[in-house]
Structure 1
């Protein structure tokens, strides 16, 4: 029996974040008979790195700064590839791709596949040129949504036939056998009588949490009195968001829960999930809420339309519009007539389109086809 193909994933850091979580989910679910994964982070190992090691995945840490471009980092990654040759080199986000594609070409790695997780800024001419060059030197480019793919083609100038859209995936096993809503609330010590709203994500400007907080007074103007908002996650904006809550007199309404490992159970306790992002490449937390059978209100962004195409699956509101966000929340809470059908449709859509099993199978098929095209057997281990 042939040995599995070695595959290296490169990322700037393995601290907690959506891209890092998705990387960890994918590499721990590869068919080890076909692919043998390792991970290299340019700077810090972080919590996700330690979890990968506990799962038996080797993690290499270069230990360099991630800001700017450092030839030392390029030499270190090239040296790693020379010492431990790989068949497939995967890079996540722009900065990691910059190092990985260059080092991979120098080390003559057979298959190089960078991925982009957010729309890239077209106004930055130097970045546009570098992304086009990196994609030219790659065998395939992954975009996590059609919206990101359209940005790469229309704004950056990447050839469309170089790009493959592979959405992020969610492990369906994490959402099996969840408790009923009232039981979930009891376990978490939440009120059985309040409306429970929730938001999950890294606390940074992109996620729009400050707009969500500013929308809360409009809820009370609309007649919603008994509610709590659960804010799940960490990030650089948490201190300012906490100050905003105190300044608005919302200390009894809003709870900051930090990083949690029981997100499916937390989602299950909610009456409504709110996703107020200002820009996104995908919306994994939104898919998780749909799987937990929680109604969703989200920003109307192109990538979100790939998850929630219309109001048969959830409510969409203009990003950054606090009054519209409040009205969307009120409509969602008041719409008991169609709630069950909408929840069921959303859950089924999430299961069919965004399962981790389907995503991993798509990646493995892509790697196999690229290896076979390069003349490496039939692409199998």
Structure 2
């Protein structure tokens, strides 16, 4: 039997890191006859970590991204990371760190181990990203804009692999009029759902202003996500009422999608923005119509549905899109939602993502040999 390729997945943690579920799925579904997956993170906090432990793969608690200061001892800290990589004889290191840290790929290069990282967000803006990229063997991008915007001078390193979801976890949800958290709606209500941790770049005020301008008492809006930020508090003070409900962070997302007639992702074209937003894909896989802002990531998800993209930050454009959905007959809505479900089911399968990662790992390991 051929030696399995030992792949180390590095991620800060499984508590606050948004990529935790993606790494979990990769480790869970990768072909164990060909690959030996390991995980490295900095702590074991959070409920989700219990699921990670249940995968029964080696988990290392080690900081693989060194602080830069004091500079006089930076080389020593990088060397310690190199020794960790070398000691465990990893064949490939796949980093899911969100930051521009370059010490991890530098340590991998010193250890002679191929290194790749997944670019998860549309942030750039410092030299460390360029250093991280130059030191990497390969770079995985998750939307169509990243290659041109960030890696135009190193296209040979870049491969596009969208994040995959387990389609079996989803399916067209039956329309519900109450959910497990005790919320209820009337049968003639038009329900809008948006799911996001509430920070300013998410543009929730654009959605709420559009709803305010439509001025229809039958519209109900559920904003689902962490609402402890100053931005969220301001939104609640300005918009919360009997028809605009801020639920806070919830685990049972499907129970809110089951209430929905439409899902809206109104992210603004500024700041960290979206890499590949998962929530609208989950909504499509649940049989819901999705409307999104025309920005990186979102426009990939809705590439087959240009009519349902609106100009980022434009209240008037989003208002028109919402009114267009409201004017559709029930059968027209059902057919549109069905088409979105079919496209998402074809484009974002975990099987497709895993296969592309496996091919990449095998090629990198072969080139190393």
Structure 1 length-normalised TM: 0.84
Residues 1:144 and 1:97: Cα distance change in structure 2 (over 3 Å): farther
Superposed counterparts of 1:155-304, under 5 Å: 158-176=153-171, 179-182=173-176, 185=178, 187=180, 189=182, 190-193=184-187, 194-220=189-215, 224-234=216-226, 237=229, 239-248=230-239, 250-278=240-268, 279-304=273-298
In structure 2, the partner of 1:145 is: 143
How far apart in 2 are the matches of 1:205 and 1:24? Answer: 29
Superposed counterparts of 1:1-381, under 5 Å: 1-42=1-42, 45-62=45-62, 71=74, 74-93=78-97, 95=99, 98-109=102-113, 111-121=114-124, 124=125, 127-128=126-127, 130-154=128-152, 158-176=153-171, 179-182=173-176, 185=178, 187=180, 189=182, 190-193=184-187, 194-220=189-215, 224-234=216-226, 237=229, 239-248=230-239, 250-278=240-268, 279-311=273-305, 315-336=308-329, 338-375=332-369
Q: How far 1:86 sits from its partner (Å)? A: 0.8
How far apart in 1 are the matches of 2:290 and 2:264? Answer: 6
Residues 1:74 and 1:232: Cα distance change in structure 2 (over 3 Å): farther
How far apart in 2 are the matches of 1:43 and 1:235? Answer: 25
Q: Which runs of no fewer than 5 residues in structure 2 stay unpaired?
A: none
Q: How far 1:17 sits from its partner (Å)? A: 4.7
Residues 1:326 and 1:65: Cα distance change in structure 2 (over 3 Å): farther
Residues 1:78 and 1:258: Cα distance change in structure 2 (over 3 Å): farther
How far apart in 2 are the matches of 1:340 and 1:347? Answer: 10
Cα deviation digits, residues 117-174 of structure 1 (max 9, x gap): 12233xx3xx24x3333323322110111111221134xxx41121001111111011
Q: Which runs of no fewer than 5 residues in structure 1 stay unpaired?
A: 376-381
Residues 1:359 and 1:324: Cα distance change in structure 2 (over 3 Å): same
How far apart in 2 are the matches of 1:97 and 1:361? Answer: 28
Q: How far 1:69 sits from its partner (Å)? A: 5.8
Structure 2 length-normalised TM: 0.86
How far apart in 2 are the matches of 1:69 and 1:11? Answer: 21
State the SS of the aligned residue for 2:245.
Answer: strand
Aligned Cα RMSD in Å? Answer: 2.8
Runs of 4+ in structure 1 over 4 Å off: 42-45, 63-70
Residues 1:192 and 1:77: Cα distance change in structure 2 (over 3 Å): farther
Cα deviation digits, residues 81-121 of structure 1 (max 9, x gap): 13322111001245265232112112221x21111112233
Residues 1:103 and 1:207: Cα distance change in structure 2 (over 3 Å): same
State the SS of the aligned residue for 1:196.
Answer: strand
Contact 2:65 2:104 survives alignment (8 Å): no
How far apart in 2 are the matches of 1:196 and 1:335? Answer: 14
Residues 1:191 and 1:301: Cα distance change in structure 2 (over 3 Å): same
Residues 1:267 and 1:186: Cα distance change in structure 2 (over 3 Å): closer
How far apart in 2 are the matches of 1:231 and 1:217? Answer: 15
Cα deviation digits, residues 321-355 of structure 1 (max 9, x gap): 22322332222222226323322221111111111
Residues 1:251 and 1:258: Cα distance change in structure 2 (over 3 Å): same
Residues 1:252 and 1:66: Cα distance change in structure 2 (over 3 Å): farther
